[in-house]
Amino acid sequence: MIYLDNAATSYPKPKKVGQAMLYFLEKIGASPGRSGHRLSLKAGRIVYQTRESLAQLFDVDDPLRIIFTLNVTEALNLALKGLLRPGDQVITSSLEHNSVMRPLRELQKEGVEVEVIPCSPQGDLDPADVKKAVKKNSKLIVLNHGSNVIGNLLPISAVGKISRDHGLLFLVDVAQTAGCYPLDLKKDNLDLLAFTGHKALFGPPGTGGLVLGERVEIRKLKPLKSGGTGSQSESEEQPDFLPDIYESGTPNTVGLSGLKEGLRFVLQKGAEKIHGYEFELTQRLIAGLKDIPGVIVYGGEGNKDRIAVVSFNIKDQLPSEVGLRLEEEYKIMCRVGLHCSPAAHKTIGTFPGGTVRFSMSWFNTFKEIDEAILAVSNIARRHKRGRG
């Protein structure tokens, strides 16, 4: 079996991830932040230490400015719905995932102005176009860092500078880059980071969060939900301090136990090293795919810096058919179709058919890449002959 669907959920995970989750269930179990007993404190420490590891990874001074959510979708919803009000303008790109596009379209109906900056068919975003879109009522710029469809990187450093120059907040969706690409919150002027635990951070599904940079004012970010926090229990009003204001209800302690170990793995290796290895895998894959007659690889040139996500099609074959044959004949797991990103597929010209997507992680090998290339080559060749 070859797993090439890491952009959806990474698999396998480092061994300790599952072990820590089982340990939590069997030996700790309790609710964090609710009671003063030993087990509750142990649970609380695990949640807190996960925050500390994330603070280390993202270079955040105060771990309490990291809010846990169910996944990156919830983090993006919290940021977008919490910050934007009717009459505000928000700037985004045509390469976004529906986790950004759908909340924005919902907000648009409530009177938020949504400006979508078109990217080139190669996925390039010109920062000058972002600058031109800034208006008096602009509040926020939201961009994904690495595309979940074609794997290119958006110019967050340049856009961060624009957002700072114009006094806007900058929200970055790091679903595909957190853990496998170096990030510098401060240098790149990023105000909010929405991340998920279950991709390159090697945590389980059900973990994610939102990092609040120092420029984000708590009173201006409305919580998505309210409820029990274990704090200020005498009051029926939501607390106004971090992280409780945004974290109501019992958290996913089992999941966070796993994420903590995933983060330990990432911090030990280092995002730079992980990226370096994945980049090599990706270069090899792209070169191999491009050599196959009838295969179209989408996105920019292969030697540009990028993440380990590659979209392609075989001429005259439906992505769904290619995906089925990859699994049935070669035991290769990948993802076909639109990848929850209709805007991105319209941008690269593959809407509504979509593409076949291979996405790698630290745990893939060069041998697997070579086998995948050979499989695609066989599928492309045999199809032609069949028609002949």
Tell which one of 14, 44, 146, 288 touches another protein (CB under 8 A): 44
Instruction: Return the bridge partners of 282, or none.
Output: none
335 three-class SS? strand
| Cα separation, 260 vs 55, whole angstroms | 12
CB closer to another protein out of 108 and 250: 250
Q: How far is the CB of 2 from another protein (least distance, A)?
A: 41
| Cα separation, 171 vs 213, whole angstroms | 10
Residue 52 in the binding site for another protein (CB under 8 A): yes
CB closer to another protein out of 66 and 90: 66
Tell which one of 2, 17, 28, 63 touches another protein (CB under 8 A): 63
CB closer to another protein out of 244 and 278: 244
Tell which one of 25, 29, 62, 111 touches another protein (CB under 8 A): 62
| Cα separation, 228 vs 163, whole angstroms | 35
Please work out, in degrees rounded to the nearest 5, the angle formed at the alpha carbon of residue 149 by the alpha carbons of 65 and 53: 25
CB closer to another protein out of 19 and 233: 233
Do residues 205 and 255 make contact, with C-beta atoms less than 8 angstroms apart? yes
Residue 23 in the binding site for another protein (CB under 8 A): no
Half-sphere exposure of residue 227: CA atoms within 13 angstroms, side-chain side: 7
Q: What is the DSSP letter of 154?
A: -
Alpha helix (H) residue ranges in the chain: 15-23, 38-58, 72-83, 98-109, 127-133, 156-165, 253-269, 271-290, 319-330, 342-348, 366-387
| Cα separation, 228 vs 35, whole angstroms | 13
Q: How far is the CB of 41 from another protein (least distance, A)?
A: 6
Taking each helix axis from N to C end, the angle separating 366-387 and 319-330, rounded to the nearest 10 degrees, works out to 120
Residue with tokens 């708590």: 218
Site for another protein in 198-237 (CB under 8 A): 229-234
| Cα separation, 302 vs 283, whole angstroms | 6
CB closer to another protein out of 234 and 328: 234
| Cα separation, 388 vs 343, whole angstroms | 36
CB closer to another protein out of 162 and 245: 245
CB closer to another protein out of 146 and 255: 255
Task: Return the structure tokens found at 141.
Answer: 């710029």
Q: What is the DSSP letter of 136?
A: T
Site for another protein in 238-267 (CB under 8 A): 239, 241-244
Q: How far is the CB of 36 from another protein (least distance, A)?
A: 3
**Count of chain residues binding another protein (CB under 8 A):** 29
Tell which one of 45, 187, 315, 331 touches another protein (CB under 8 A): 45
Residue 33 in the binding site for another protein (CB under 8 A): yes
Tell which one of 11, 23, 48, 330 touches another protein (CB under 8 A): 48
CB closer to another protein out of 69 and 229: 229
Residue 383 in the binding site for another protein (CB under 8 A): no
Length of the chain: 388
Q: How far is the CB of 347 from another protein (least distance, A)?
A: 41
Residue 34 in the binding site for another protein (CB under 8 A): yes
Amino acid, single-letter form, for residue 380: A
Do residues 326 and 334 make contact, with C-beta atoms less than 8 angstroms apart? yes
Task: Return the structure tokens found at 147.
Answer: 């595309």
| Cα separation, 167 vs 176, whole angstroms | 27
The contact pattern for another protein, residues 134-173, with x = CB under 8 A and - = no contact, is ----------------------------------------
CB closer to another protein out of 7 and 211: 211
Q: How far is the CB of 230 from another protein (least distance, A)?
A: 6
Site residues, another protein (CB under 8 A): 32-37, 41, 44-45, 47-49, 51-52, 61-64, 229-234, 239, 241-244
